[in-house]
Chain A
Amino acid sequence: MSFEISLMPMIQFINVQKIYTGAANCVALDDVSFDIEEKDFVSIVGHSGAGKSTILKLLYSEDKPTSGQILFNGEDITLITSKQLPRHRRRIGTVFQDFKLLPKKTVFENVSFALEVSGHTDREIEESVPQILEIVGLHTKMKSYPREISGGEQQRVAIARALVHRPALIIADEPTGNLDPISAWGIIQLLLKINKLGTTVLLATHDKDIVNNIKRRVITLDQGRIIRDHSKGRYAI
């Protein structure tokens, strides 16, 4: 039995369809199936509206698919109840284009906040937060406020916050969208470093240069369908 589990992919999308009903019925994902292995680094690329963000939202259960199954470590997360949601979210770290930092909290507090709300003790917080800030290279700016540091640094704080409860998967939705090319590449290198340390990374982006430089698996989406899935892919639309 344990042999079978170890062979199971970390994430499985099985015939997933997502239709947003409303004024205009919009098919965001159309019969999408793919697997992601543990410790993989996967980029999801495509134009705006191709369905990248929808895949990520379904993964951290912000939304439910119209049909199909999504397995996370073998568990169907489309069946998750609101009570089970926090436990699921703690297995996943999320990073967004707009950083989502709290302006009135310091760098340290922004990161520790994630541990506080998930019930870690003060002692655990005192230990973990400086370690994580060291990994993202911000241990000298623990007492700064978000407005006092650069965009690239703010995104590093967001990554630290996503990492601090040691999730198995990091989801990054256009994390470099607001950054200059140099800072952007710095963030990607940080994500690659985190991946090397054993965390699965799922990156949604439409930055061609970045995808071509990573040289890892690329899933290409167009109008809600997977049109390419290459293990050493390039950005080609």
Chain B
Amino acid sequence: MWVLLKRTTKSGFLNFYRNGSLSVAAVSILTLALIIISIILVLSITANLGLKYIQDKLDIRVYFKSEVTESRILEFKSEVSRYKEVKSAEYVSKNEALDEFKTNNADKPDILKAVDAVDENPLLASINIKATNPEQYEVIASSIENSAFKQDINSINYRQYKLVIDRFSTTLKTVRKTGLFLFILFASIAILITFNVIRMTIYTHGDEIEIMRLVGASNSFIRLPFVFEGIIYGVVAAVISTAFLFPMIKIVTPMIVGSSYVSVVQADFSRYFILIFLVIVLAGILLGTISSLIAIRKYLKI
């Protein structure tokens, strides 16, 4: 078994090496197909990361009229926490809201002065609600609007996020759809070209194959070198595509996410590098193997 694997991989490498320009053609087109699959992957992951980042920031703020007592607000909090769509609800008192406001505007002395000039705290107490699923904010908001606490509520703040989420979801869907289409297109072309390269190899090895059969080479011994040849094309193409990957991330990420998120997303991205690399290598091996299996089935008669 070991001898079989050793000799057939060696023949596979020799085929790859001796095919010269044919190998270059096969590797180039496979690289193209793999770059497309990496673009889809990178875009999907980037968009997903961006979406996740934004979703973490999302919440509904329910502002209460200034005359509503703290105990009434806490009553609301415990009721809202019972909604199954709600992940967490947090009470922010008037004072906490003021502190938060001051921290957020620490670099704007005019605003701070204006706030100090007012005797009474102008900010409202609120409950910050996070949903288990970002699509449920609308449901939560309408439930609150129809609840017994309707009279106490000054405003519910959530709609401005909907736009951002929608934009992301749409981008994500488009990326996946066009990406999948392009991938299928280029993968088919890649398989077609690689298959033809392997067919040529099979033809040029006609005499050798005939003698192999006569001296009793096992079927796998005759077939495996061509399978390995296909796999080698795939792996080489995968390595080249990966070399394109990091510069590509740098270019693509700012295009898809708002620039303020770029650093966050990119930092997160390196964790996915191994995963992406493995997916590309696997895709390369798969494309190469499929190509060689088709060629062997059609042209290698045993």
**A interface residues, Cβ below 8 angstroms from B:** 60, 82-83, 85-90, 94, 100, 102, 113-114, 116-121, 161-162, 165
Contacts and interface: CB of A to CB of B under 8 A. Distances in A.
Interface residues of B, number: 18
A86 B207 contact: no
Contacts, number: 56
A82 B218 contact: no
A86 B210 contact: no
Nearest to B8: A117
Contacts of B219: 82-83, 86
A181 B214 CA distance: 27
User: Which of A60, A118, A161: most chain B CB closer than 10 A?
Assistant: A118
A89 B218 CA distance: 10
Contact of A116 (B7, B207, B214): B7
A89 B3 contact: no
User: Which of A116, A117, A165: most chain B CB closer than 10 A?
Assistant: A117
A89 B211 contact: no
A102 B214 contact: no
A117 B215 contact: yes
Contacts of B211: 100, 102, 113-114
17 contacts: A89-B213, A89-B214, A89-B216, A90-B215, A94-B214, A100-B214, A102-B207, A113-B212, A116-B7, A117-B217, A118-B216, A119-B3, A119-B218, A120-B3, A162-B215, A165-B215, A165-B216
A114 B215 contact: yes
A100 B4 CA distance: 23
A178 B219 CA distance: 31
B217 A100 contact: no
Contacts of B7: 116-117
A168 B218 CA distance: 19
Contact of A118 (B208, B210, B218): B218
What are the 3 A-B residue pairs with the smallest beta carbon separation, nearest first?
Answer: A89-B216, A117-B217, A90-B216
Interface of B: 3-4, 7, 207-208, 210-219, 221-222, 302
A137 B207 CA distance: 25
Contacts of A113: 211-212, 215
A188 to B, nearest CB: 21
Given A82-B302, A100-B210, A102-B208, A119 B221 contact: yes
User: Which of B3, B215, B222, B302: most chain A CB closer than 10 A?
Assistant: B215
A121 B3 contact: yes
Contacts of A165: 215-216
Nearest to A100: B211
Contact of A119 (B4, B213, B302): B4
B221 A117 contact: yes
A89 B219 CA distance: 12
B210 to A, nearest CB: 7
Contacts of A118: 215-218, 221
User: Which of A89, A119, A120: most chain B CB closer than 10 A?
Assistant: A119
Nearest to A117: B217
A100 B77 CA distance: 89
Contacts of B213: 89
B213 to A, nearest CB: 7
A165 B217 CA distance: 12
Given A100-B211, A102-B211, A117-B212, A86 B3 contact: no
